[in-house]
Structure 1
Amino acid sequence: IKTWHNKNGEGKLFSCNFLDESGEIRATGFKEAVDQWYDVLQEGSVYYVSSCKVQLAKKQFSNVNHDYELTFERDTSIEKAEDNEGVPQITYNFTTLADLQSVEKDTTIDTIGVLKEVGDVNEIVSKTTSKPFSKRELTLVDNTGYNVRLTIWGNTALNFDVPTETVIAFKGVKVSDFGGRSLSLLSSGTMNVNPDIDEGHKLKGWYDAQGRNDTFSSHANSMATTSTSGRNDQMKTIAQVRDENLGMGESTDYFSLKATIVFVKSDTTFAYPACLSEGCNKKVVEVAEGEWRCERCDKGWPNPEWRYIMSINVSDHTGQMWLSLFDDVGRMVMGRPANDIMKMRDEMDNGEKEVFSNAVCQTYVFRCRAKMDTFQDQQRVRYQVSSAGPVNWSAEGKKLADMIKQYSLSDNDSLFVN
């Protein structure tokens, strides 16, 4: 049940999906209909429904692919059917994790994956209502070689008790471009643990056979070197970045760099305590034990949300350089949220060293910007990573093959000196 408050008053509503052999349709009840029907309708039961209002679907609020939707009216009739035989099961139209990059932002989809990680419950405050609500981040993987973060909310987040390595099917998740691609379970969405469907069985078989030991890529950053603003970020070597004096002028310079991480600074500056208010992310100050305060929001929290603000040293065949990166890229590089590492540090867990060690010797394509910065009265160029992604070795091989073709060698020519 959802509530609303606006200049025209206040009220409450709920929605449900009806399924028959022809497809699905969404139905919504407002105010008195909530009291009348919310406790009557039970998932998995069969009903005879009549005298509903039919109108064009508001697809931004729906997880059903239907052009129309129903509204419960005062004379709506709902009767439970005793005969449940022949009732169709929930239908899915799954999008694989690899295909998320081609899905438009704010699209509602279905997806299925193996639960790889479960985050802690965090409480954040809504900007619009100033009310606190709970969220929990899950990490899913599938047999396309990708992982993705999926956020669940409210009681679903609080009551979530599914072990890792479990297959979960989600119906009605919203696609976001935050951090490349991420997902959010809508209030109208559903979650089916260990679904008895072909896709679920195949996914479980793949994970048990090989997926458990696979390495997964993230959408936290596409491999394209053209930004959303249309700017073309040319691929450079470290030597070219320095020789061309990128960032030394008045404007910001942009470039892409294929390099390998050789060192990650693991001192106390790799993360900062951030405000939990939605969209804030400002640094909070510990004013007393178990009390952190955000001066911007003027709110207090028992614990902060730790966010990455890291420095890494990278290398290619021409040299080395330092890069700065923030939370989205940090999560990809480290393979987990900063909260997990800070918890290890507080508990003196030796696993912290392993996490930093595993981040080294990994190769990525970094999309960077170079800009002159002043630090302690000294000017220097700062190289900041805006996004990163794994190397597409197939595309890399094609590019090298095209470079070789530019030499226009005949069959009798050789690249080697006799």
Structure 2
Amino acid sequence: MSGPGKYDSLDSLDDSKYEWKIRVRVIRIWDSYSNKGQKEFKGRNMLLLDDKHQRMHAFIWPNYLDEFKNMFVEGNVYSIRNFSVKTYRKESLRCTRYDKQIWLSNYTKVFPVEDEQKMERAIRPVEFDFFDIADIGELVKQSDNNFLIDVIGILMDKEVLRRFKNQREVEQCSFRFTITDGSASIKCCFWDDMAEKFSAAIENENETPLIVIIASCKHNEYKEEPYVSNVAATRFYINHNHRSVLQMKQRASMPDFTYTPPTRAETPKTQIMTVAQLRKLDSKFNMNLVMCQVTVKSVEESKIWYFDACSSCGKEIEVVNGKYRCEECKRNIPFPEKRFRIYVIAEDLSGAAAFVVVDPEVENIIEKSVFDVLIDQSQEKQGSGFPSVLKLFEGNQYTFTIRLNGDNLDRASNTYFVTDISKGHEIMDNNVADEDSFSTGPMNVQFSDSASISIADFKTPDTEKSTNTNRLKRLSGDDVVLIASLSDDNDLAAGGVKEKESLTVKHVKKEKV
């Protein structure tokens, strides 16, 4: 055992004995839960730092947690005695590359170090083990990719905080941004509580540049592009008082260091347009969201009104060799989700257009899921025909929020994907688009009862199938998340529409006043 007043260093610990004595700062505390079922509590974790700048992971089993209830506070220094040292087995998401960890038990003694100033050697407030951003891509490909990493970079760009409900109807939020070290950049995504805290922190930070340290982040890749995200052990630091931040500032002042500082994100007001204005938009239009006040004239009955979706990524799946298969997740899906996708013709006084409406907007309007409708059909012995509840859209007024894509702006497609629906026409006048910039003059519009048009009369892209992903829901107020992927381009392709498929609506006759 160590002599009186002597402490063992973290790098000297092994499994040869139990009577160890260390003095460390607790720089991180987080809890572990199982990923299955009800998320069973698995134990409490701590990342320790000693005066030799060594870091080591410590663990407390749930049955011993009462022994240390409220004893440890993140950032404080403690003297810890009598504990075991274990060699890692197959644990993932490890904060350090050291192959051993500390296990505390009911025999362990813990004493707070009250006066740090009297310590012979001070323990730093925090310590990092940085990896070059350029090397993260190679780290992802390594077979032992079970370590968390620390990265540092200057904030380049950021998006607005997104709020949504996941497939299990649980509210979540995410915040995406990019950092650079001058030679490479990496995309980052924070989730839930950390997303909210990070979003608020950078909005309240006035110093430039914003230098971000992400400690113990998870590295992975999406579409063969590396990115980092947060886990329970992750912490972030903005313009922290650390030597690495000073070095990054010095590097940023060099002539060959270039980056574009982020601007404060402001959510633009969504512009209100008539259908005629909407159909005249081209690639020069610089907004991807617009709103239309329309009346739904018809719902197409000949098309399948729902699709099968992956229970993990939300993308449409197909039957391969008799089994539902998600090519994105590279696995079979035994019980796929079923999601609405209906096709409608809607019009206002200026014209008509085809719209594709998907979940969760359909479900929000009819207050039933696809499974509910299928059960109703079974109980009412309606067979597999088109559900009558979906015909309730017809004749009603709605405000559609539409996400414009390349087909609409570059290839003049007149089929639009609806990302949000509100009943009725509730529009602020100051958001309405300038009519003069889109139309040639006032019109008197009459609707004929005999004429009809098909979806082929609209310019429509030829797409294979739906690629809509996460089932996200609108919350209250201005906190809106569209039915869109968390992929890099956030494009929405909610459903495929074939040129030869037809919808029947009343024809619009236009007569100048």
2:170 alignment counterpart: 132
| 2:247 equivalent to 1:195 | no
Q: Supply the AA of the counterpart residue of 2:129.
A: N
| 2:193 equivalent to 1:155 | yes
1:14 alignment counterpart: 44
Shift of 1:112: 0.9
- Contact 1:269–1:310 (CA under 8 A) maintained in structure 2: no
Shift of 1:312: 9.6
| Larger deviation, residues 375-384 vs 107-116 | 375-384
Task: Structure 1 unaligned segments of length 5 or more: list them.
Answer: 217-261, 299-304, 315-320, 323-337, 340-345, 351-374, 390-418
Shift of 1:12: 4.6
| 2:228 equivalent to 1:183 | yes
Q: Distance in 2 between matches of 1:310 and 1:162?
A: 35
Q: Supply the AA of the counterpart residue of 1:162.
A: A
Shift of 1:154: 3.5
- Choose which of 119, 127, 133 in structure 2 pairs with 1:97: 133
Larger radius of gyration: 2
Question: Against the structure 1 CA distance between its residues 26 and 59, is the aligned structure 2 distance closer, same or farther, given a 3 Å change threshold?
Answer: same
Relative to total residues, which structure has the larger strand share, 1 or 2?
Answer: 1
Shift of 1:169: 0.9
| 2:116 equivalent to 1:71 | no
Shift of 1:34: 3.3
- Contact 2:53–2:124 (CA under 8 A) maintained in structure 1: no
- Contact 2:288–2:403 (CA under 8 A) maintained in structure 1: no
Shift of 1:175: 0.8
Q: Supply the AA of the counterpart residue of 1:194.
A: N
Q: Distance in 2 between matches of 1:90 and 1:113?
A: 17
1:245 alignment counterpart: none
2:313 alignment counterpart: 279
Shift of 1:204: 3.3
Q: Any residues of structure 2 matched to 1:210-359 within 5 Å, and which?
A: 214=259, 263=283, 279-280=313-314, 283-287=358-362, 295=369, 310-311=406-407
Q: Supply the AA of the counterpart residue of 2:133.
A: L
Q: Distance in 1 between matches of 2:402 and 2:312?
A: 14
Q: Distance in 1 between matches of 2:154 and 2:105?
A: 41
RMSD over equivalenced CA pairs, Å = 5.1
- Give a deviation string over 1:97-147, Cα, whole Å, max 9, x none: 33322222555211012233253142443x7xx473533223132232544
Shift of 1:182: 1.3
- Give a deviation string over 1:311-354, Cα, whole Å, max 9, x none: 4999xxxxxx99xxxxxxxxxxxxxxx99xxxxxx99599xxxx
- Give a deviation string over 1:225-271, Cα, whole Å, max 9, x none: xxxxxxxxxxxxxxxxxxxxxxxxxxxxxxxxxxxxx957868699x
Shift of 1:16: 0.8
Task: Structure 2 unaligned segments of length 5 or more: list them.
Answer: 1-30, 204-208, 262-281, 291-308, 316-338, 340-357, 373-400, 413-418, 421-428, 434-454, 466-486, 490-513
1:55 alignment counterpart: 86
Q: Distance in 2 between matches of 1:195 and 1:292?
A: 51
1:122 alignment counterpart: 163
Q: Distance in 1 between matches of 2:38 and 2:240?
A: 43
Given the two structures, how large is their TM-score scaled by the length of structure 1? 0.51
Shift of 1:156: 2.3
Q: Distance in 2 between matches of 1:110 and 1:308?
A: 38
Q: Supply the AA of the counterpart residue of 1:53.
A: S
1:110 alignment counterpart: 150
Shift of 1:36: 3.6
- Contact 1:264–1:312 (CA under 8 A) maintained in structure 2: no
- Contact 2:32–2:45 (CA under 8 A) maintained in structure 1: no
| 2:220 equivalent to 1:171 | no
- Contact 2:218–2:228 (CA under 8 A) maintained in structure 1: yes
Q: Distance in 2 between matches of 1:114 and 1:349?
A: 39
Shift of 1:286: 2.3
Tell me the percent identity: 15
Q: Distance in 2 between matches of 1:287 and 1:132?
A: 19
Secondary structure at 1:104 match in 2: helix
Question: Against the structure 1 CA distance between its residues 388 and 136, is the aligned structure 2 distance closer, same or farther, given a 3 Å change threshold?
Answer: closer
Secondary structure at 1:28 match in 2: strand
